[in-house]
Structure 1
């Protein structure tokens, strides 16, 4: 069984037991969270697609850790204008372990 969930402005296909890095969620490590924005639920050959959400479907996940991703380097330059700008960015993330999917 799998589900397509929406969190942090992105969509993820998840199954029970998977680990997943998503945008940072305000929850403590070890805390269980419920994601109720489920776009689709599939099992074998059957699939249930919501309009836009599947009513009554939830995904339960446990927060494994919080962290920061790899540094992304941004470099902007205008040639012949003596303009150069360097910037870096590290995105925060939350790692989740998918526990169960209720359709």
Structure 2
């Protein structure tokens, strides 16, 4: 909890720490080209906290990156949607699974003298 970053990935903002894995959505189109253990770099970093110092971006931080690697592709739980029209006595059940990509964070990099010292 000493060092973390808030990044924008897959249309959501995630609070990430080094050594942990996260599920990111909307990486489906590039998921077919990315293979497991392939390295990625995320440049849309909104905030970095290192110790007691905090660096905010407007909207993103320059010279910062969160580096990680792809673990595997997976699916989220199935969302079941029911459409019921009571007077017509019709019911429709349909659903889908969201494609997710599991990413493990290796390092949080920021080029600033104030944040790099412990």
- TM-score, scaled relative to structure 1: 0.93
Moved more, 8-17 or 82-91: 82-91
Which structure carries more strand by proportion?
1
Alignment of 1:47 onto 2:54: yes
Q: Count how many residue pairs are aligned between Structure 1 and Structure 2.
A: 103
Which structure carries more helix by proportion?
2
Counterpart in the other structure of 1:79: 86
Question: What 5-or-longer segments of structure 1 have no aligned partner?
Answer: none
Deviation at 1:78, TM superposition (A): 2.3
Q: Write the deviation string for residues 33-53 of structure 1: whole angstroms up to 9, x where unpaired.
A: 000000110112211110000
Moved more, 28-37 or 78-87: 78-87
CA contact (8 A) 2:11 2:26 kept: no
In the TM superposition, structure 1's runs of 4+ consecutive aligned residues that sit over 4 Å from their partners are none
CA RMSD of aligned residues (A): 1.1
Distance 1:67 1:49 in 2: 32
Question: What 5-or-longer segments of structure 2 have no aligned partner?
Answer: 111-118
